[in-house]
Structure 1
Amino acid sequence: MIPRRPSYQDIPLYSPPSVQCSVDLSDNTNLFGMPPVAERVLRECATSVVSRYPQTYAPELKKALSSYTGFEPSWLTTGCGSDDLIDCCLRAFLEPGERIAVPDPSFSMLSYFAKVNGLQFVPVRLRPDFDIDVDGLLATGARLIYVCSPNNPTGTVASRTALERLVDAAPGLVLVDEAYAEFASDTYADLVRSRPNILVTRTLSKAFGLAGLRVGYAMGRPELVSEVEKARGPYKHTGVSERVAIAALTEGLPWVKARAEEIKEIRGRLVEALKAEGLQPLPSDGNFLLVPLPDAPKVAARMRELDVNVRAFQGLTGVGDALRIACGPWPMMETALQALREARR
């Protein structure tokens, strides 16, 4: 008989919708591609980079991240995407049965990670202005509070006043997910130096265009980082992904920053185009927009028939049905807008 964990029995496999469309705006990756220098390094990787293990705990990648973030390598850890680091944090800082508090709505993987780690998942509704409800989060008594800013799927940010108050009053760790930091008006990694109980995770899957290579990182006090590294293990990246990530973080930075600025400009144009259609997208600091729309799943299905894929949400707390549309080159946006018009008829 196969031994099973009773708590696993009702956990479904995480499987977001996967549809092949010529225009795919469903996963918030960089639709401009990857930095040219990163592509060159990928093509030129020696066989030995593939046939040998990379260095344990990615010291060269941490050096590149240190230059990019301003944090010493001992304040940094890396993982197989930022979602891997979030999972590592839950294992490192919470015992099975303890609580994790999460704003609602937010990154859907958190409820999944809570279940597989045997934790109590406690959602706390966002405020009407989509800021975090500090008092509600603190009232849960959770020793780990997760905040995504800019928030997925809303695109909204946690205010600095609210986040500082949360970190200062939290009974344990505050884990801030900044996957979309390069597109945001304000970020909070600076709090890591002044507060001992905050970890900030980021990724190279969005602005850096390396989603397929799965590289994320976290910033925190060395005593927190060392605990995460215990859960992380020695090898979380391939040698290839490390080489390409280092190239993107160094020589590729001008390309990354230029594309991020271009995406922000396109985001603004898309807001105006959607408003012209009678829609009201939420204010966004990410590389995507959330557009409240009745019967959004049906509209998204019709858009897929027109070869455009967007992410549909049903019954989001405080929002209702909505479409999430990633921002990319403007011709893609024009195609998506036309598909949206036709799908709504």
Structure 2
Amino acid sequence: MDLSDNTNLFGVPPAAERVLRESRPESLSRYPRGYAPDLRNVLASRLGVGAACVTTGCGSDDVLDSALRAFLEPGEVLAFQDPTFVMMPLFAKVNGLKTAPVPLRADFDVDPEALLATGAKVIYLCSPNNPTGTPLSRAAVEHVVEKAPGIVIIDEAYVEFSSAPDFMDLARTRQNVLVTRTFSKAYGLAGMRVGWGVGSLALIAEVEKARGPYKLTTLAESMAVAVLREDPMWVEVQVVEARRNREHLRAELMSMGLSPLPSEGNFLMVPMPDALGVAQRMRERDVNVRAFQGLTGVGDALRIGSGPWPMLEAALAALRESLR
């Protein structure tokens, strides 16, 4: 049982299943359309922007990687909150960039002045943050956006699970903001690899140049469009259940003497000594969770995804046994 990657554990959206059943085998031998026009148009219509202000990619991490290549040259600096999405330092490395990790404050909000002091041409923010689950404050994000010397990327992969306001309005109104989202979490399409981003016309044009064509298969684009059009209630039901079970899991963990961090994602981060050893013992009991070592401001911790309650009950049982 895998609770390590924060994907949707409640099943597949009905519309995606329908598209899969009805897909034509001959489409497999043809290239998809280069820039996913149907998905871009549907997203643009929902957001009240032009289709040229929307980009898509092979997961939102592809959009993030494309943005780094679009706006940074090798040797330039990428700044980001620390800890955050583990792929950002990796993307920086493969693109020949320098990194400027800036520790989160004690309340897990970003430190705007410290981020700005890096002088980075691209600043990456993540809200709700992965792996902590904590949201960023409106005041801090707006301060970074207002004063940043270049582009600000706001990763909202987990925004559907959050009760905090999102930052999509900044992508619509500011010239230097790119907001990215994904179909891999709330929408249950992780295996299809569909991500997207929104920004100004000029900003998205540069991301599209770095992106290149053919990033979404015909099947992936069709599924994403169908889920947006047909399954909003299915998504909402699963989101509500994931949040409810997340808080039930929090209560159980606290009854065990643990202190999970506040979370607005579909997961909890649980600081504990020897998290790596605990995770290994849980795997021996057929439960996979994500272990982190020495996270800035957190230390060792487990990240446990939320899903159907029977899964979380099994995870709790494995955790109790592994802590003995």
Do these two structures clear the TM 0.5 threshold for a shared fold by scoring above it? yes
1:105 is aligned to 2:83: yes
1:75 is aligned to 2:77: no
- Could you say which residue in structure 2 is the equivalent of 1:190? 169
- Could you say which residue in structure 2 is the equivalent of 1:210? 189
- Could you say which residue in structure 2 is the equivalent of 1:334? 313
2:273 to 294, 303, 314: 294
Partner amino acid, structure 1, of 2:134: T
2:77–2:100 contact (8 Å) kept in structure 1 = yes
Where do residues 22-41 of structure 1 align in structure 2 (5 Å cutoff)? 23-41=1-19
SS at match of 1:234: coil
Where do residues 1-345 of structure 1 align in structure 2 (5 Å cutoff)? 23-185=1-163, 186-345=165-324
Partner amino acid, structure 1, of 2:275: A
- Could you say which residue in structure 2 is the equivalent of 1:20? none
Q: Give distance in 2, aligned partners of 1:239 and 1:330.
A: 34
Q: Give distance in 1, aligned partners of 2:237 and 2:30.
A: 35
Partner amino acid, structure 2, of 1:321: D
Q: Give distance in 2, aligned partners of 1:70 and 1:273.
A: 42
Structure 1 residue 72, shift from structure 2 partner: 2.5
2:162–2:265 contact (8 Å) kept in structure 1 = yes
Structure 1 residue 281, shift from structure 2 partner: 0.4
Structure 1 residue 42, shift from structure 2 partner: 1.1
Q: Give distance in 2, aligned partners of 1:136 and 1:48.
A: 54
Partner amino acid, structure 2, of 1:106: T
TM-score by length of 2: 0.98
TM-score by length of 1: 0.92
- Could you say which residue in structure 2 is the equivalent of 1:7? none
Which stretches in structure 2 are left out of the alignment for 5+ residues? none
1:38–1:252 contact (8 Å) kept in structure 2 = no
Partner amino acid, structure 1, of 2:129: N
Task: Choose 271-280 or 50-59, whichever is displaced more.
Answer: 50-59
SS at match of 1:250: helix
Which stretches in structure 1 are left out of the alignment for 5+ residues? 1-22
Partner amino acid, structure 2, of 1:315: G
Partner amino acid, structure 1, of 2:247: G
2:5–2:290 contact (8 Å) kept in structure 1 = yes
Q: Give distance in 2, aligned partners of 1:48 and 1:162.
A: 51
Q: Give distance in 1, aligned partners of 2:49 and 2:239.
A: 22
SS at match of 1:201: strand
Q: Give distance in 1, aligned partners of 2:238 and 2:195.
A: 19
Structure 1 residue 48, shift from structure 2 partner: 2.9
SS at match of 2:33: coil
Structure 1 residue 54, shift from structure 2 partner: 1.6
Q: Give distance in 1, aligned partners of 2:259 and 2:47.
A: 35
SS at match of 2:143: helix
Q: CA RMSD in A?
A: 0.9
Q: Give distance in 2, aligned partners of 1:313 and 1:70.
A: 39
Deviations 1:301-339 (A, max 9, x none): 000011100000011100000000000000000000011
Q: Give distance in 1, aligned partners of 2:15 and 2:48.
A: 22
Q: Give distance in 1, aligned partners of 2:285 and 2:68.
A: 41
